[in-house]
Structure formats: C-alpha cells, structure tokens
Amino acid sequence: MSEFDDGIAVLQRSVDGDRASFEASLDDGFRVGGGVNGGYLLAVLGRAVAEITTPDGHPDPLVVSAHYLSASTAGPAQVDTHVVRSGRSQTTVHATLAQEGGPRITALATYADLGGLPDDVRTTAQCPQLPPRSECPPTSAAPADFKKTAPLLDRFDLLVDPACVGWAVGQPSGQGMIQGWFRLHERDLDPLALLFAVDALPPVTFDLGLPGWAPTVELTAHVRARPAPGWAVVRHSTRNLAGGHFEEDCEVWDSAGRLVAQSRQLARAPRVSAS
Amino acid sequence: MSEFDDGIAVLQRSVDGDRASFEASLDDGFRVGGGVNGGYLLAVLGRAVAEITTPDGHPDPLVVSAHYLSASTAGPAQVDTHVVRSGRSQTTVHATLAQEGGPRITALATYADLGGLPDDVRTTAQCPQLPPRSECPPTSAAPADFKKTAPLLDRFDLLVDPACVGWAVGQPSGQGMIQGWFRLHERDLDPLALLFAVDALPPVTFDLGLPGWAPTVELTAHVRARPAPGWAVVRHSTRNLAGGHFEEDCEVWDSAGRLVAQSRQLARAPRVSAS
C-alpha cells in the first residue's frame, strides 16, 4: 500500500440497514499547522463512502460536497454513513467524520461509475500552460523549519509555476492564482486521490499577500473522469475576496490534457497580519 | 406576501431535539416541463432551514450544497431538518425535501448572519457589462405555447443580453454563456431569493446548441452578501461539457455592483437531438 492509501484506510465497524460506521486513523503526516488537511479528510470520508457504494456498481465519487465544522487532529476518527438514495446510475450518501469532541466534517456524496460515462469531450476550458517541470521549484524544498509545521508537504510532489511562487519570498503577485505540477509519491492519481489534490496546494490567498490559515467552510468537488497516469496540473484561483471570505476554484488536468476535476471552496480569509 | 414568499412558505409540523419537520406546498407556477425548478426547491428547503437557524442568530444561507435525487412535482412536500452543528458564528443543517415516492433533494446548509460579516471587498471579478435593459428581450415574451410548458417564466423578469439569446431562434452562439437582468415581480432579492436566482435561467447548454432538459445532479451556492435592492445581473457559463455532464457556474451581481452570490452545479447534458 502507498502512504496515501494507508492514510485514508478505513475499517468497517458496524452496518445497520442503510447506515454504517467506519474507523479511521488520521495520519499526522497530512497535518498543516494545528489541523489536518481538508482534502485528506475528504479522501478519508470518500474512502468510507466507496465501501458502501462499490457493491452497487458505483465505485467513484462524481460529486462530493463537504462542510467543515471544526479542525481535525491526527488520531482516531469515525465515519458514519447513511445512504440517502440508491439509484440505477448513482448512489447518494450522507457521511460525517467525527472525533472525540464532535463532528469535524459532514458531506453529501454522489457516487457513480466514471468508467461507464459517455466518452464525449467538448471542454472549452484550456489547460494552463506551465513551464517545464525542471524550471518549477518543488515545495518539498521549503525550509526545514517550515516543513516541521507542515509535514503535508512531504506527501506529494508539487512543482510550482515560478510565475506564482513570489509569495514564498515575500513578493506575492497579487493575481490570486497558484498552479503547478502535482503527483503522489508512490502511485498514480485516481478519483479518491483527486479529492485530496483539490485541496493540497497552499491557500491561494498566499498569492494575495495574505499568509496565514484559511479555514475551509465548504468544499465541493466534481470528479469528471478517471485521471490518466502521470503528472497532473493543478490550478487554484480566486476572484471574490470579500466579507471575510473568499472562494477558491481548483482545476485538475491529467497528463492526457483532460479536465478531470473541478472544485470550489468557500473559506474564511486569513486575518491581515499587523506587521 | 409576494408570490415568491407564498411559494416557498413552510409550516413546522414537529420538532424533536435537533430534528424538525416542515410541510410545504410546491407551486405549479415554478414548474418547467415535467419538473419543478431546482432553484425554487432550494429556496423552499432554505426557508425551512432558516426557521431552525434564525433563533440562534444565523438567519442567512452562507453556503448550501444540494444533491438532486429525483424530479419534484407540484403539490405537497415535506422538509426534514437535522442540526449537525450549532456554533457561535454558523449553524450547519442537513435537510431533505421529500414527496410521496421518496426524497427529491438533500442538502447541507451552513447559515450565518451576513449582516455581521466584515465589510471588506477586494473582489477582482468584473461585473458583466450588459446593454441597457430596453435593448434586452424579456423571456416573458416567449411564445404562449412555450410558456404553457414553463410557467416558471412568469415568476420573474429576465431581460436577456441579446448577444446570448440566439438559441431562442435556432442560432446558439456556441460560447456557453447566458446572462441578463433579473428581478422578482413583487419584491427585492434577499439571500433566500438568491438561492432561486442561481438556477432560474435556461440551461447554459441552450447556448451550445443542446436544447432539452439538463437535470441538476448537484448545486452549491455561496451567498456572499445581502443584495442591494433593484435589478441584479445574473450570468451562467460552462467550460467543461464532457462525459455526459457539464458544470454550470452562476454569478449574481446586485444593483450596487457587488458579487453577492456564486454557484456551481453539475448537471447531466441533454441528449443530442436526432434532428
């Protein structure tokens, strides 16, 4: 098993009609600062849902909407699932991940068989054109002190477009965009890994000169196809920072140039630092 | 009461701890073809949630994620709510609207007090520049035969930008965008009405030469501020039609030029007609 699969593993503890309960162990390696990464939590939750929906022929997340309730910490967690509707082509499940102290994230997940969808592609969006990977600095090269607070950075390879990495040296571009090459260490992306990928980058507010924690309020991910193997391109952007919140849109393009995932989250804007 | 408020009215039937149940009557006036409009359903559900969250000081939808399970019809409906978490600044509720025959739409809704948010606005998105309203044809002028199948069109004023109305005469632009001026008949927009507004326009696939029903799989709406009174600008667009699905992004700009709502839905693409 890869470290990612190991990190999102769940164990079914009970099942009662359309309800089931799973045990998970949130891995400290996916921590950023005081909390566990939101995309990782989504993949843990998505892993539990897949256990329920796969026997019905719906193994893949098609759309998952998660509301983040309180910060998760490394350690034991429980995922409770409830099938809201099981149809011919889709199954919709309500799932909540909880730890001692209360619910952390609650989500609605509609699963389907991505392999069984029509193969038409009429996408008008364009894949971002990035410099070659050799010209994009890896986030794994961040200072050791910083990485101690964000062990998440060692869970994947992220090579950032140099045009939007100025924030790392105190010169944010102000355009509200971060993009780069992305892959897991030990295995290719799949639909569950896409749930992780859409929230793995630094908050796009870094590029607006707002360093600091940007807690997710809600994140919805559409998974539109099973990704081709190899490096993906991941792009985060925002256009509406207002009222103490911002939206963060994410696109994931696979190595074959297909837009395989889109997500949008609503997050709380970091407090402006006094410095 | 306006016809909109009348249409989304709910009556609390029972309450049991963190669970409550409401009765609603889905109004045939919000029908399109064989189903009831999805934005209207979202507003009915949102109306029930507001009953639960308002006493806690969280009267406004901040973000609502709805999964559409089966087509609703005019007539009686029931909304069941369950408070997942009640916090200081937000309350998150799981709500399901059901009719005889099963659940129609299930949603997670996080409510807050939009009036209490900070007043910073650093939006970089630009409000679409539309021609004056006198130059934009109203959808209420659609042929009477068509309006019989879509009484929804008489529930609001929508004046469509002539640059993206070619589909109405068999000449879709192919750009995947529909925008126009929007208002309710008898009252100004508010956060609940924005839940309706984000799904009130024709499917953006009309502009791609794909007439026909485009059933929503999931829709998430962010309500970012209470809208100023007057005409709003509503814009729908899509960039990723593939695999039998498409995403539809919606923006609602209020009369003061503020981006007050953003939504994204995943919908099933209409079948290509044989003609």
Q: What is the share, in percent, of chain B residues with pLDDT greater than 90?
A: 90
Vertex A265: Cα angle to B105 and B41 (nearest 5):
20
First to last CA, chain B: 45
Nearest to B69 among A69, A84, A245 (CB): A84
CA R_g for chain B: 18
For residue A82, which of A17, A126, A144 has the smallest C-alpha distance? A17
Q: Give Cα A273 to chain centroid, integer Å.
A: 26
CA–CA distance, A66 with B102 (Å, rounded to integer): 23
Any long-range contacts for A249-253 (C-beta under 8 Å, 24+ apart)? A250/A198, A250/A199, A250/A201, A250/A221, A251/A125, A251/A128, A252/A182, A252/A189, A252/A194, A252/A197, A252/A198, A252/A227, A253/A127, A253/A128
Mapping DSSP to helix (H, G, I), strand (E, B) and coil, where does residue B225 land?
A: coil
* Sign of the C-alpha dihedral computed for residues B39, B42, B48 and B53 taken in this order: negative
Residue window 29-58, chain B: list those with CB within 8 Å of chain A: none
Which residues partner with A111 through β-bridges? A61, A91
Give contacts of A258 with chain B, Cβ < 8 Å.
242
Return the pLDDT at B1: 84
Interface residue B266 vs chain A (CB under 8 A): yes
Predicted pLDDT of residue B112: 98
**Residue appearing with tokens 């909407």:** A65
- Per-residue pLDDT tens digits for B35-70: 999 999 999 999 999 999 999 999 999 999 999 999
Poorest-confidence range of A142-156, B227-241, B244-258? A142-156
Mutate to test the interface with A, among B119, B216, B264 (most CBs of A within 10 A): B264
This model of the complex carries an ipTM of 0.96
Question: Which residue(s) pair with B107 in the sheet?
Answer: B66, B95
Q: Do A240 and B85 touch (CB under 8 A)?
A: no
Share of chain B above pLDDT 70, in %: 99
pLDDT of residue B213: 87
Residues of chain A found within 8 Å of residue B216, distances taken between Cβ atoms: none
Confidence of residue B21 (pLDDT cuts 50, 70, 90): very high
Amino acid letter, residue A136: C
Q: What is the DSSP string of A31-83?
A: EETTEE-HHHHHHHHHHHHHHHHGGGT--EEEEEEEEE-S---SEEEEEEEEE
Per-residue confidence band for B101, with pLDDT thresholds at 50, 70 and 90? confident
Q: Which residues in chain A have their CB less than 8 angstroms from residue B70's CB?
A: 85, 87
pLDDT band of B34, cuts 50, 70, 90: confident
DSSP B40: H
pLDDT for the residue numbered B273: 52
Long-range contacts from A243-246, C-beta under 8 angstroms, 24+ separation: A243/B114, A243/B117, A243/B118, A243/B119, A243/B120, A243/B121, A243/B224, A243/B225, A244/A268, A244/A269, A244/B117, A244/B118, A244/B120, A245/A217, A245/A269, A245/B62, A245/B117, A245/B222, A245/B224, A246/A204, A246/A205, A246/A214
Structure tokens at A38: 């939101």
Interface test with A, best of B62, B114, B222 (most A CBs within 10 A): B222
Asked if pLDDT for residue B274 goes beyond 90, the answer is no
Give me Rg for the CA atoms of chain A.
18
Output the six-digit token pair for B170.
Answer: 């068999």
Strand A91-99 to strand A177-184: parallel, antiparallel, or no bridges (unpaired)?
unpaired
When pLDDT is averaged across residues B249-272 and rounded to a whole number, the result is 95
With CA atoms as reference, the chain B residue closest to A226 would be B243
Q: Mean pLDDT, consecutive 10-residue segments, chain A of 275 residues?
A: 96 98 98 94 98 98 98 97 97 98 96 96 96 95 88 96 91 95 96 98 93 94 98 98 98 98 97 57
Q: Against a cut of 0.95, is the pTM above it?
A: yes
The 10s digit of each residue's pLDDT in B176-211 is: 999 999 999 999 999 999 999 999 999 999 999 998
Chain centroid to CA B156: 12
pLDDT at B271: 79
Q: Lowest-confidence range among A236-240, A249-253, B141-145, B265-269?
A: B141-145
Report pLDDT for B169.
Answer: 87
User: Which of A211-225, B95-109, B135-149, B236-250 shows the lowest per-residue confidence on average (mean pLDDT)?
Assistant: B135-149
In which residue are the tokens 């890896």 written?
Answer: A138
Q: Is the pLDDT of residue B74 over 70?
A: yes
Tell whether the torsion through CA atoms of A218, B127, B258 and A178 is positive or negative: positive
- CA distance linking residue A156 with residue A232, whole number of Å: 12
Does A259 sit within 8 Å of B67, measured CB to CB? no
Closest chain B C-alpha to A140 CA, distance in angstroms: 31
Question: Whats the size of chain B, residue-wise?
Answer: 275
Residues composing chain A: 275
Query: What is the pLDDT, as a whole number, of residue A33?
Result: 87
Q: Is B110 helix (H, G, I), strand (E, B) or coil?
A: strand
Burial of A16 (0-12, 13-18, 19+ CB in 10 A): exposed
Asked whether the beta carbons of B109 and B49 are under 8 A apart, the reply is yes
Comparing CA positions, the residue from A49, A31, A63, A7 lying closest to residue A219 is A63
Cβ(B224)–Cβ(B260) below 8 Å: yes
Distance set, CA B117 to CA A246, B111, B161, B191 (Å): 12, 12, 33, 14
